[in-house]
Chain A
Amino acid sequence: MSEKPMPETTWDADEFGWFGGEGAWGGRFMPEALVAALEELTVAYNEAMADPEFVKAFEDSLVDYANVPSPLYEAKHLSEQYGVRILLKREDLNHTGAHKIRNVLGQALLTKRMGKTRVIAETGAGQHGVASATAAAYFGLDCTVYMGAVDTRRQALNVARMELLGAKVIAVESGSATLKDAINEALRDWVASVDHTAYLFGTAAGPHPFPSMVRDFTRGIGDEARAQCLAKYGVLPDAIAACVGGGSNAIGLFTAFLDDADTAIYGFEAGGDGVETGRHAATIVAGGSGVLHGARTYVLQDDDGQTIESHSISAGLDYPGVGPQHAWLAASGRATYEAVTDAEAMKAFQHLARTEGIIPAIESSHALAGALRLAPKLAAEKGKDAILLINLSGRGDKDMGTALDYFNLGEPTGETA
């Protein structure tokens, strides 16, 4: 694991939402009809974050309702197997079962502060949809969730959860009927309803200020993990890892460590059937600079700038774009992004279940698989006390249908005693 010199730069966006300098990554490529709403949101967000009462209310809701800080758990069996200390940031133990609750509590609280009465959200795996429906119920807001029709079928349990929580779930049939099309449809709704509706964007992508706002609402992951690691081990981790679809859990973890030059940062994208097959969602690894959903970032696109449909066994990573701050971290060399295939992720999914008794989300299994690929190198370079910190961003209950099909589960094979 080589240490890279840190570029002298800021990792934050400027006031126009550009990461890495004007015109580089991010910005706001949006219809004029939404610009007023985005500017209103930017002002409201900046004012809210400068208001101690808002910050306290947000933090109280996290602690009292969402069950954070989540534990930093040393996976002892895995650590023994791989010869380094493997720490899991247990975001799967948060209320609703993923890191997503942090972001939506922040955005829903802001919605209330702005006097709006309705929220819309898009969702892939359903985690953000469930979290949005939960926050809407908690704060007394109407909620509509857009979900690709393909995803409603592979995440039927989460659709039922959203409906039980009082949300209206709309299956989007257009395009590839996955996350990107759900975002398109949510944006269309927002254009027509912006006077009373807030868009709870589910990942650190989209037009300014969403990438910065979602990052700030999720940065508790890294702030907590950094403090927990220092308190327990007296040192910072040698490497940290997270899965990257749009990139909210990853940026939430990475942010606290960006200025820690000795901590290597890894993002693992969905390699699907393998990057070489073209059926994947490895946007940074195999995409190019483009504009999608309001930001300049890495995009899977053809030679004419038409978006290419992504593929991943994980609905939550099945997105042909990525948050623009990740684009900047990749371009600057501060973070390293690699692809993990469906098969590698499912192997890690099963391995964690059997080794530690934890069933992770398939999204998180990508981070786990990628990190375990790094572990031997880290062990060789730094020995058994080296620390590899992995964000376990969500739990795998929602993915049992996929696991059932993939591993042919549900047919007992053991004989009676």
Chain B
Amino acid sequence: MSTVLNTTGRAFEKARAENRAALIGYLPAGFPDLQGSIDAIKVMVEHGCDIIEIGLPYTDPVLDGPTIQAAAQQALDNGIRTKQVLEVVEAVAAFGAPTLVMTYWGPVERYGVEKFAADLAAAGGAGLITPDITPDFGQEWIAAADKHGLDKVFLVAPSSTDERIAMTTAAARGFVYAAAVMGVTGKTAANIDIVAPLVARTKATTTTPVGVGIGVSNGQQAAEIAAHADAVIVGSAFVKTLLEAPDRETGLRNLAALTEDLAAGVRRG
């Protein structure tokens, strides 16, 4: 077992040294199947993703749109559960990109919060992104993450008050996830007029890097956002590329091209 703790910080340092934003790529574990997800993420790392988010497939993903939900359902139908997600983390962490898990809370609580944190750290995972846990209801996770040196990535949204942004950034480690749109993943394009003030309000409270996600699907959008944020986060566009490909080989080829487009985007920003 490797132990690669808190490496998102190093990824951000590298990006900062190159005077650019980082590119964070998301894919659900087990989509299109267990090995397929590992192969796809390898392509994403090789073609420019600095940090990887691995989705833990869940039956009730309230913040995900139809694209990611369909992929997660396919993974669930393939029998992917928490144990396999940790296997994917271990395989992917070995590619060298810091690897976080994005998960709804139900499966973590069922697995056991402390045990999940310990096993994630042992698998080389860098931390968790928790879309349905805010710091004020996440004390158990915060304690476990602190004990195991894991990143705690909480979300801020355009609707967040300044007080809540301050509370959230004070609890966050690794980076802060700024939701670019009031909506679910993969449905609405990010609007820079909404993103920029949110990033500015967030940065006013913290030195922790701020990543922007939800509603980003191409290099041009990535460039616009990279001018304001420390990282650009892309999920549905990667998933859609694989979902729509006629075969596995084409899917991986298109995935490589999309990653390169986005990686170029964060370098233009």
Contact = CB atoms under 8 A, between A and B. Distances in A.
Interface stretch (B88-96, B181-189, B203-211, B254-262): B181-189
Contact of A301 (B104, B106, B136): B106
Contact of B182 (A16, A192, A291): A192
B111 A32 contact: no
A184 interface: yes
B141 to A, nearest CB: 11
Interface string B55-77: 00011111101100100010010
B13 interface: no
Contacts of A30: 132, 134
A195 B159 CA distance: 9
A303 B110 contact: yes
Interface residues of A, number: 37
Interface string B209-246: 00000000000000000000000000000000000000
A401 interface: no
Nearest to B83: A304
Given A188-B65, A192-B183, A194-B182, A32 B106 contact: no
B100 interface: no
A208 to B, nearest CB: 9
Contacts of A175: 59-60, 73
A29 B69 contact: no
Contact of A32 (B66, B109, B160, B184): B160
Chain A interface mostly? mixed
A37 interface: yes
Contact of A31 (B82, B108, B131): B131
Interface stretch (A162-170, A214-222, A292-300): A292-300
A291 B58 CA distance: 12
A30 B61 CA distance: 11
A301 B183 CA distance: 27
Given A188-B62, A192-B184, A31 B106 contact: no
Given A29-B137, A31-B155, A306-B59, A291 B188 contact: no
B106 A36 contact: no
Interface string B107-147: 11111000000000000000000011110110110000000
Nearest to B105: A291
B62 A187 contact: yes
B132 A31 contact: yes
A138 B168 CA distance: 41
A195 B111 CA distance: 36
Interface of A: 16, 23, 27-37, 174-175, 180, 184, 187-188, 191-192, 194-195, 289-294, 296, 299, 301, 303-307
11 contacts: A16-B137, A28-B137, A32-B154, A35-B157, A175-B73, A188-B65, A192-B183, A194-B159, A289-B109, A291-B132, A307-B106
Interface of B: 58-63, 65-66, 69, 73, 76, 81-83, 104-111, 131-134, 136-137, 139-140, 154-161, 164, 168, 179, 181-184, 187-188
